[in-house]
Chain A
Amino acid sequence: AQKVTQAQTEISVVEKEDVTLDCVYETRDTTYYLFWYKQPPSGELVFLIRRNSFDEQNEISGRYSWNFQKSTSSFNFTITASQVVDSAVYFCALSEVNTNAGKSTFGDGTTLTVKP
């Protein structure tokens, strides 16, 4: 069985601070996909990134960066110089490679509040 744990329920930072959202996962599979999604106050789900378990390279996209460490089963997400618009709930998700990504297991989410 798969499991995704986002231990941080809520995080509050002041604008321009850096913030890291933790994600720890469990799976018996050796190959899998990991995802991060953003859910702003308006409620829709926005895809941020997909990572294949074969690829442990870190990724940077603007102010966003992701650190994937297979040895510790973690896929952490860092926002640099946070902005008020980053306030949202962020979800980490996992899917097995031998299923479709639409059959994913989600963490409970981390609510990020960025104060001006």
Chain B
Amino acid sequence: NAGVTQTPKFQVLKTGQSMTLQCAQDMNHEYMSWYRQDPGMGLRLIHYSVGAGITDQGEVPNGYNVSRSTTEDFPLRLLSAAPSQTSVYFCASSPGGPYSGNTIYFGEGSWLTVV
């Protein structure tokens, strides 16, 4: 059981470049989300999705785009990378909808450096 799979694990980008962080889950979870973790800080929600075709912004959405064309995949796009986007990115999924306190399953993280 693969769980939540993120790729790549490490990436170095130049300022202004674009890239996509991939996230896939094989648990048929409705809910998926992207967080970023900066040094000395907790996770902050970037974008989330409550199901295929539905996405919404989290706490820090600027500079990122997402789409959810299938239940399994939730890619995160950086259109024009900036040094401020240097961070560790975590994708997460969880079953159920609202009123669900179900466990969140996290990917292993993607370390992104923008130079």
Contact = CB atoms under 8 A, between A and B. Distances in A.
B31 A108 contact: no
A102 B92 contact: yes
Nearest to B35: A106
Main secondary structure on A side of the interface with B: loop
Interface residues of B, number: 32
Interface stretch (B64-72, B77-85, B96-104): B96-104
Contacts of A11: none
B103 A44 contact: no
A102 B101 contact: no
Contacts of B75: none
Contacts of B98: 97-100
A106 B33 contact: no
Nearest to B32: A102
17 contacts: A33-B101, A43-B88, A45-B43, A45-B106, A47-B103, A52-B101, A93-B42, A97-B99, A98-B98, A99-B98, A100-B96, A101-B103, A102-B48, A102-B93, A103-B31, A106-B44, A109-B41
